[in-house]
Amino acid sequence: MKINIYYGGRGLVDDPTNVVLDKMQAVLEELHVDVERFNLYELRGALTTLPQTLKSADGIILATTVEWFGIGGYLMTFLDAIWLYGDKDKISQIYMCPVVMSTTYGERECKLFLSSAWEILGGLPCSGMCGYIKDTAVLEHNVEYQRLIEKKAENMYRTINQKMKSFPASNQAVKQTVAIHQGMNLTPQETEQLSRYASDESYVQKQKEDLKQLTEIFGGKLGERKMKSPGSDFSDYTLHFQRAYHPKPGGRGVFTLYIEPEDSRVLQLHIEPSGLTVFTQAGGKSDVEIRLEKKILDDVIAGNQTFQKAFMTGAMKMKGDFATFRILDEVFSFEKE
């Protein structure tokens, strides 16, 4: 027989729950039970993986100390992890004995809470123990208290060994009807990482910005417009782009910039690692097409903003490959005037 003890207290020297657990463990080991103890405060970084330890257990003891209110965060997190990652088929065969000692009010409520939680998880109930202990010395030296602990450990052994049955509980019926867990088939590590991302405001904001960009790319329709002969006032732009160009390995693409509102204003950039060529008219197929106002292009050339920032704020429209679009800010370094 294998029994696991999960202690959810803080591990204080005068914790009465530790006295009870030490006595129960000694009694169970005298009955040749394999007992393994897990102190949750020592394993708080691995609570999401602890449900795997249930697979080898015939019974468990969930123990905690009520110091001010409730069962405490460690044990609650462990129960959450069992709900999310525990093997429900195995849990349905495991008996659970709750042990709750209190230095304040509320031990009976917490004992009932643990029993109800385990039954909702589908596990088997086992008679538990609770009590208000102000001084651990009284618990250690009181013969009657020691006998109560011994009897409780022996009863747990008999319950598991004889596989005693119990009447169905209403909370189990609730679990089968409405408390259906919708699993995502994620590992504990993936879920924990996802939780960190979901609580990271900067990550959430970045995702919103990416969604906005994708909406612009796939949802915005940039109608094809007939190009007219280019004007003769683009020589300055050509010079600015050539001066700011810094080739990058793998940086290549054809970019056509339509300067609105006049369709005649066109710049086409042919970017290669070997060099840059600027045309003042559109020709052939472009990897990326950009539509923006002249004042926006002037701000980019002046170094007041980047192509990507202008796109993210809606100051320009873009059609084509987004990864290729990013190359513009990588190969052009416009110095702020």
Average pLDDT over residues 265-291: 86
Q: How many angstroms separate the CA atoms of 46 and 44, rounded?
A: 5
Would you state the pLDDT for residue 227? 35
Average pLDDT over residues 106-124: 93
Predicted confidence (pLDDT) per residue in 120-173, tens digit: 999 998 999 999 998 888 888 899 999 999 999 999 999 999 998 888 777 666
Compute, in degrees rounded to 10, the torsion defined by CA atoms 160, 164, 169, 174.
60
Q: CB–CB of 313/300 below 8 Å? A: no
Count of positions (residues) in the chain: 337
Would you state the pLDDT for residue 145? 94
Residue 66 clears pLDDT 60, i.e. is over it: yes
Would you state the pLDDT for residue 213? 67
Q: How many angstroms separate the CA atoms of 150 and 23, rounded?
A: 7
Residue 14 clears pLDDT 80, i.e. is over it: yes
First to last CA, the chain: 79
Q: Which one has a higher pLDDT value, 38 or 196?
A: 38
Would you state the pLDDT for residue 230? 37
Would you state the pLDDT for residue 21? 96
Average pLDDT over residues 87-113: 94
* Confidence class for position 224, pLDDT limits 50, 70, 90: very low
pLDDT, averaged across the chain: 83
Q: How many angstroms separate the CA atoms of 272 and 108, rounded?
A: 75
SS3 assignment, position 232:
coil
Would you state the pLDDT for residue 196? 56
Would you state the pLDDT for residue 32? 94
* Confidence class for position 44, pLDDT limits 50, 70, 90: confident
Give the sign of the dihedral formed by CA 262, CA 263, CA 265, CA 268: positive
* Confidence class for position 114, pLDDT limits 50, 70, 90: very high
Residue 90 clears pLDDT 60, i.e. is over it: yes
Predicted confidence (pLDDT) per residue in 227-253, tens digit: 333 334 566 788 888 889 988 888 889
Residue 188 clears pLDDT 70, i.e. is over it: no
Residue 36 clears pLDDT 60, i.e. is over it: yes
Average pLDDT over residues 178-203: 56
Would you state the pLDDT for residue 335? 79
DSSP H/E element including 297 = helix 294-301
Would you state the pLDDT for residue 222? 42
Q: How many angstroms separate the CA atoms of 296 and 292, rounded?
A: 6
Average pLDDT over residues 85-90: 90
Would you state the pLDDT for residue 92? 92
Taken in order of first residue, the domains within the chain and their CATH numbers are 2-177 (3.40.50.360), 235-331 (3.30.1050.10)
